[in-house]
Amino acid sequence: MRIRVMSIEDYDEVYQLWTSTEGMGMRSLDDSPAGIEKFLRRNPTTNYVAQIENRIIGVILCGHDGRRGYIYHTAVRPDFRGKGIGKALVKAAASALRLEGINKVALVVFAANDLGNKFWESIGFIKRSDLMYRNLSINDMNV
């Protein structure tokens, strides 16, 4: 297995992995080729794919705002889960964030995503009971 920085050329294969992974929340504009390309340009060193024989089997989308790191859309193909690939992707992203001076990383997981929540807890991410997540859609086209 090889882990490398994600590029926009990976989009089709990565998008297929995201949309076939239960528990993912995809947005029409943010997760379009243009939206992901914009994200990758803003965060060129913190997004990774895991490959076996030129086949993408895992992905992590990660970036920061200069203060806090954020992990989005992490997925591993079901037939490769339980082999440390997700953990290796998180480690790569966290190391890249650390090199950019970021000291903390956060993420959002759907409450009903049991598999995802178990994974994040297993690698040390804690559930915050003192916060309430809120959002506001400012573009009705981003469904």
What is the tens place of the pLDDT at every residue in 39-61?
A: 999 999 999 999 999 999 999 99
Q: Locate 104 and state its tokens.
A: 């903390």
Number of CB atoms found within 10 A of residue 57's CB? 21
130 contacts 94 by C-beta, under 8 angstroms: no
Report the C-alpha gap between 115 and 141 in whole angstroms.
30
pTM, 2 dp: 0.93
Half-sphere exposure of 42 (CA within 13 A, CB side): 14
| pLDDT tens digit sequence for 52-102 | 999 999 999 999 999 999 999 999 999 999 999 999 999 999 999 999 999
Domain residue ranges of the chain, discontinuous segments joined by +: 2-122
Give pLDDT tens digits for 5-25.
999 999 999 999 999 998 888
CATH 3.20.20.220 correct for 2-122: no
Identity of the residue numbered 2: R
